[in-house]
Amino acid sequence: MVAKILDGKSLAQKIQTKLQNQISEKVAQGKRAPGLAVLMVGDNPASAVYVRNKEKSCQKVGMESFSRHFSADATQEELEEAIAQLNQDERVDGILVQLPLPSHLDSVGLLLKILPEKDADGLHPYNLGKLVRQEKGLRSCTPAGVMEILKEYNIDIAGKKAVVVGRSILVGKPIALMLLEENATVTIAHSRTANLAEVTKDADILVAAVGKPEMITADMVKPGAVVIDVGINRIETSEGKGKLVGDVDYQAIKDIASYITPVPGGVGPMTVAMLLQNTYLSYLVSTEKVQS
Which residues are annotated as part of the binding site? 166-168, 232
Residue 3's alpha-carbon distances to 6, 148, 227, in angstroms, are: 9, 19, 9
Looking at the DSSP bridge assignments, the partners of residue 189 are 165
- Put the strands of the sheet holding 161-165 in their side by side order: 4-5, 259-260, 226-229, 205-208, 161-165, 185-189
Long-range contacts made by residues 110-113, C-beta under 8 angstroms, separation at least 24?
110/76, 110/79, 110/80, 110/83, 113/80, 113/83, 113/84, 113/87
Helix axes 267-291, 45-61, angle to 10 degrees: 50
Measure the CA–CA gap between 193 and 172, rounded to whole angstroms. 14
Binding site for NADP(+): residue ranges?
166-168, 232
Active site residues: 54, 98, 121
User: What count of Cα atoms within 13 Å lies in the side-chain half-sphere of residue 146?
Assistant: 29
Measure the CA–CA gap between 262 and 267, rounded to whole angstroms. 8
